[in-house]
Chains A and B, each alone.
Chain A
């Protein structure tokens, strides 16, 4: 049974960067396709990006191009999402989620609240 455990809440100032981690239990990271989704307070889900196994590369939503970097450390079974040049609109819960073969997000982390405030 795959479980995803995310890092704790963060408070950042505008212009700073944040790096959220997502540790995998019960499976090897290389067998999973990890993606990231965020949700601003009171708002809907927003896809940020993730690994594309067909192209063997990470793809990012156009909105976040140039500001987001998603990486993986297979030695610790941990995926990371780093978002830079933070602004207040980036205040949200950030989720890691595994993508299944039918493009479904089947397993989700518990979420990490990132607050951007001066």
Chain B
């Protein structure tokens, strides 16, 4: 299993919207609607933000939304806030186990 491909970094100003892409293959993202996204602040454990398309755990802001098209999944964050600055990772079911993306550092300007 190869890691999913994410941009190394993205940035945006407060109030703006940004989208982070996550590209996989027909063996993972393209075959299963089972992509999840995680937010990780420095020195902290990852936190689940979205899963199975556009589902959100209780307590996660509706500013975070997930989607999938073909072999590419996306995480969109609307109304950027300073506290959204963090690393973001996608993860997909791959038939036998899971595979993570390399991570994207989001900077809020």
* A residues adjacent to B (C-beta < 8 A): 37, 44-47, 49, 59, 61-62, 95, 97, 100, 102-106, 108-111
| Segment of B9-17, B18-26, B45-53, B78-86 in the binding face | B45-53
> How many pairs of residues, A versus B, come closer than 8 Å at their CB atoms?
62
The interface on chain B, measured as residues whose beta carbon lies within 8 A of the other chain's beta carbons, has a size of: 25
Whether the pair A95, B45 counts as a contact (CB closer than 8 A) is yes
24 residue pairs bridging A and B, Cβ less than 8 Å apart: A45-B38, A45-B89, A45-B100, A45-B103, A46-B100, A47-B91, A47-B97, A47-B98, A47-B99, A47-B100, A95-B45, A95-B46, A97-B46, A102-B34, A102-B52, A103-B36, A103-B51, A103-B52, A104-B34, A104-B36, A104-B91, A106-B51, A106-B57, A110-B45
> Known pairs A37-B46, A46-B100, A102-B34. 4 more at Cβ < 8 A?
A44-B101, A62-B1, A104-B34, A106-B57
Q: Given contacts A44-B102, A45-B89, are A104 and B51 in contact (CB under 8 A)?
A: yes
